[in-house]
Chain A
Amino acid sequence: MRTRRMTHVLVTATAAGSLLVACSGAGGSTGSGGDGESINVLMVGNPQMEDIAELTKSTFTKDTGIKVNFTILPENELRDKVTQDIATQAGQYDVATVGAYEVPVWHENGWLHELDSYADKDSAFDKGDLLKPMVQSLSGADGKMYALPFYGESSFLMYNKEVLAEKGITMPERPTWQQVADAAAKVDGARPGMKGICLRGLPGWGELGAPLTTMVNTFGGTWFTEDWKAQVNSAKFKEATNFYVDLVRKHGEAGAPQAGFTECLNAMGQGKVAMWYDATSAAGSLEDPKSSKIAGKVGYAYAPVVETKSSGWLWTWAWAMPKTTKKADAASKFMLWASSKKYENLVGEKLGWARVPAGKRASTYEIPEYEKAAAAFGDITLKSIQEADPTNPGVQPRPTVGIQFVAVPEFQDLGTKVTQEISAAIADQTSVDKALNDGQKLAEEVAAKHQ
């Protein structure tokens, strides 16, 4: 009993201590709530979140009188902070941004407040307009939503139209991985210093892990079977990984083992690679003449496949309400506003249509101004998201919801360690077989916890 109280005190003390440190960089507004309530929102530091922090005061707060204090943190610290906040029942945050990966895991822990009761009451919110895969990935086993999507993305193939045309290659709208590999071989070296394709090689479950897992899915592999048998060194998983590693080693970007999303974005935008398979959200940057030399010259194709019909991933940042909040009503108002059509229009008019948090509503793609801004990639982005099936992303039933990840707490560690070894295989410091056999051992440890 003593020790339990002791740890509780300690935990709270350490949490408070780290909070002091963490808050020093965030812009918490001062002063008391005044006339209305105030809520605390914890967000990940992505551009879309920075936009909402900028717009809230003059619109949402003005209309409702609810003051919003934002804290912005990097992804890992955010997970940590929310987890601590909920685990210690501190109730400090009323709203937090969560990714598609956290929702099932945290719902499983019983940390999140269901949101259907709020969303259904608000007719202007129009829940039916939300894209089905988004709703699926943010719903619990009981069919209720536990987070409201803010923006979403899938993955697709981007290619340099000029270079492919020079080499006489027509990229089909729905290519197979073999076609992509053949094209990569042909365009490799089309210009001095240009490589065929960019694929992430930087270790991390959310870096190399994401595109690789979509490839494993479509080759017919999986991390785990439905009844938690580890499949990391199975034939299909190996085939996919070998294909990925060979393609990167032969025709991939220079410096692949350290190349993540950012490095590939640079390489593609600077004309150092002819193709790139990655997030749909990258298209906006590639079409921006300020940062990209190939704006207007990019072609888009669906995520390459082998055995499945589609293979694009699904990711979303969404608003969730920790169960510990004491201001559920005010918090829900903010969340419904942030995920609304109204907010999308506000961003479009105030900051420009390219900055709209898209990828969650069908109606976004019917706004004429947005259609114009996203002419080259809007349609294919929407279809990629609509075709993504987080409940059944491969050829066999899965134990959890999720396409490019396994929604269990242990996956971050497992995915990171296995991709470290695969990254080493790309750097020719180990073999794919050894990497996956080691990975299988780690995966079996995880599976044992869930059987």
Chain B
Amino acid sequence: MTTLIEPSRTAPPRVRPHTSTAISKWRRRGPLLPALIFTVVVTQLPFVATLVISTFQWNILQPADRHFTGLSNYGIVFTDGRLRAAVLNTVVLTASVVVISVVLGLALALLLDRRFPGRGLARTLLIAPFLVMPVAAALLWKHAIYNPDYGLLNGTLNAVYQFFGADHGPTIDWVSNFPMPAVVLSLVWQWTPFMMLILLAGLQAQPGDVLEAARVDGASALQTFRHITLPHLRQYIELGVLLGTIYVVQTFDAVYTITQGGPGKQTTNLPYEIYLTMFRKYEYGEAAAAGVVVVLGSIVIATFALRTIASLFREEVSR
């Protein structure tokens, strides 16, 4: 998985003797080999094991009945209605979390890009949600915020109602009525700071002279943002979207903790469905096959992500 980034064609020609013989190449690569081999062993061998397991009929509660079945597990994965629903839920969950996080993150990054007293503190506070453990965050949302009896949302409503003289506010069951939005919201809270950080880095890398020139030419703030800042941020947004997607596709904690995939199958995403297959059905072969399918999907996304990062580097080099 190592991609050596070749200096791009547009870079000024460097004065370097041509030593493109195989020996000298390996002399340079040699010291890296142990690390490379270690990385391959640690990251790729488990995947190979998963691939092998995915071709077996293997339910651990029937250890005697373990045999090779070829690709039949993949057939089950692609024809299973529950898995199809899980794919759809995963797409909806991931897309909405990423898009909303990017929009909010951009807004916050633009605010933080200005100078104001206490900026450092505001930035630290805004980053905090990203540093909370996913399970802890999910528990916090389930109990402290959504809980219909003692949660923050209903507590606030109750206080407002009582302020206007009512006996007791409405008891709204947020998670049951809006299961997917409830999960999405808790994830957006976690991922907005991540997007904000990436976009803030992008904003601070803006060349000042260009902004200056725009101001001198009489461009309004909106025009400057639309025609200069946004095109400049494009790659950073792409990077945020792709990295965010890779992570959010794997969301398990929020689903497991807040809704247990319910009500019904409405918030059962792929990782949770695989968990059910593995730990409720004990069908290791099926779970492995589903896992492989998810990995392949993620690899497609990751390829785009790596390309984006590579293009960022290229820009750095050509500067």
Chain A residues close to B by CB (< 8 Å): 3, 6-7, 10, 13-14, 17, 76, 79-80, 83-84, 86-87, 105, 109, 192-193, 202-205, 253-258, 266-267, 270, 272, 409-410, 412-413, 416, 420-421, 423-424, 426-430
Contact = CB atoms under 8 A, between A and B. Distances in A.
B260 A202 contact: yes
Contacts of A272: 149-150
Contacts of A426: 176, 263
A6 to B, nearest CB: 7
Contacts of A416: 276, 280
Given A412-B281, A429-B264, A7 B52 contact: yes
20 contacts: A6-B52, A10-B52, A83-B63, A84-B60, A87-B63, A105-B61, A109-B61, A192-B167, A192-B168, A255-B149, A258-B258, A267-B149, A412-B282, A413-B280, A413-B281, A420-B268, A423-B262, A426-B263, A427-B177, A427-B179
B46 A427 contact: no
Given A76-B279, A257-B263, A83 B168 contact: no
Contacts of A192: 167-168
A41 to B, nearest CB: 21
Q: Is the interface of A mostly helix, strand, loop or mixed?
A: helix
Contacts of A7: 52, 56, 66
Contact of A204 (B56, B260, B264): B260
Contacts of B262: 202-203, 257-258, 420, 423-424, 427
Nearest to A262: B143
A255 B147 contact: yes
A363 to B, nearest CB: 36
Contacts of A267: 149
B171 A193 contact: yes
B53 interface: yes
Contacts of B264: 420-421, 423-424, 427, 429-430
B263 A254 contact: no
B193 interface: no
A428 B158 CA distance: 24
Given A10-B49, A254-B148, A203 B60 contact: no
Interface in B121-169: 142, 146-150, 158, 167-168
B304 interface: no
Nearest to B147: A255
Given A258-B176, A416-B280, A80 B52 contact: no
B239 to A, nearest CB: 31
A18 B46 CA distance: 11
Contacts of B146: 255
A270 B149 contact: yes
A431 to B, nearest CB: 11
A79 B279 CA distance: 9
Given A7-B66, A14-B53, A420 B261 contact: yes
B266 A429 contact: yes
Contacts of A17: 46
Q: Taking each of B60, B264, B282, which has the highest tally of chain A beta carbons within 10 Å of its own beta carbon? A: B264
A258 B142 contact: yes
B78 interface: no
Q: Taking each of A10, A193, A267, which has the highest tally of chain B beta carbons within 10 Å of its own beta carbon? A: A193
B211 to A, nearest CB: 49
B265 interface: yes
B104 interface: no
Nearest to A202: B260
B176 A427 contact: yes
Nearest to B174: A255
B62 A258 contact: no
Interface of B: 46, 49, 52-53, 56, 59-63, 66, 68, 142, 146-150, 158, 167-168, 171, 173, 175-177, 179, 258-266, 268, 276, 279-282
B29 to A, nearest CB: 29
Contact of A409 (B62, B167, B171): B62
B260 A258 contact: yes
Contacts of B282: 80, 83, 409, 412-413
A419 to B, nearest CB: 9
B207 to A, nearest CB: 48
A203 B66 contact: no
Contacts of A255: 146-149, 173, 175-176
**A-B residue pairs, 3 tightest by C-beta:** A424-B264, A254-B148, A87-B63
Contacts of A413: 276, 280-282
A257 B261 contact: no
Contacts of B263: 257, 420, 423-424, 426-427, 429
Given A258-B259, A270-B149, A272-B149, A83 B61 contact: yes
Contacts of A423: 262-264
B150 A270 contact: yes
A166 to B, nearest CB: 17
Nearest to B66: A7
Given A409-B282, A424-B266, A193 B61 contact: no
Nearest to B56: A7
Given A267-B149, A412-B281, A203 B260 contact: yes
B118 to A, nearest CB: 38
Nearest to B48: A10
Contact of B63 (A105, A109, A266, A270): A109
Q: Taking each of A17, A254, A413, which has the highest tally of chain B beta carbons within 10 Å of its own beta carbon? A: A254
A14 B51 CA distance: 12
Contact of A256 (B52, B66, B173, B265): B173
A205 B66 CA distance: 26
A287 to B, nearest CB: 21
A423 B68 CA distance: 37
Q: Taking each of B46, B147, B259, B262, which has the highest tally of chain A beta carbons within 10 Å of its own beta carbon? A: B262
Nearest to A84: B60
A444 B155 CA distance: 46
A87 B281 contact: no
Given A80-B279, A193-B171, A420 B265 contact: yes
Contacts of A193: 149, 158, 168, 171
B106 to A, nearest CB: 33
Nearest to B279: A76
Nearest to B171: A254
